[in-house]
Amino acid sequence: MKLLLKAFRNGLGAIIAFVSWVIPVSKVKRTVKQQKEIDAQTENIELYQFFGCPFCIKTRRLSGT
């Protein structure tokens, strides 16, 4: 049962990642000054990700990376 659930999660994650890849998002456009402010605010933040995680995909799409 655990193996089936893991396969389902991985398969669904792959589908979500594929759809995210097919539907492009526009990049965030900032001035140099705005980018420096963002960099200073987030210099101590580390994000860890999993390729097929729907929450990670949403974060990557919103951050423009």
pLDDT in tens, 20-51: 888 888 877 889 999 999 899 999 988 888 87
User: In the prediction, which pLDDT does 65 show?
Assistant: 57
Residue 61: C-alpha distances to residues 4, 6, 19, 25, 33 (Å): 29, 24, 12, 7, 23
Running DSSP on this structure, what letter comes out for residue 27?
P
Residue 9's pLDDT band, with cuts at 50, 70 and 90, is: confident
End-to-end CA distance of the chain: 36
Backbone angles phi, psi at 51, to 5 degrees: -50, -45
Mean pLDDT value of segment 59-64: 77
pLDDT at 64 (0 to 100): 64
pTM of the model: 0.56
Q: Which of 11, 24, 10 shows the shortest CA–CA distance to 65?
A: 24
More confident: 28 or 64: 28
**CB atoms closer than 10 angstroms to residue 5:** 9
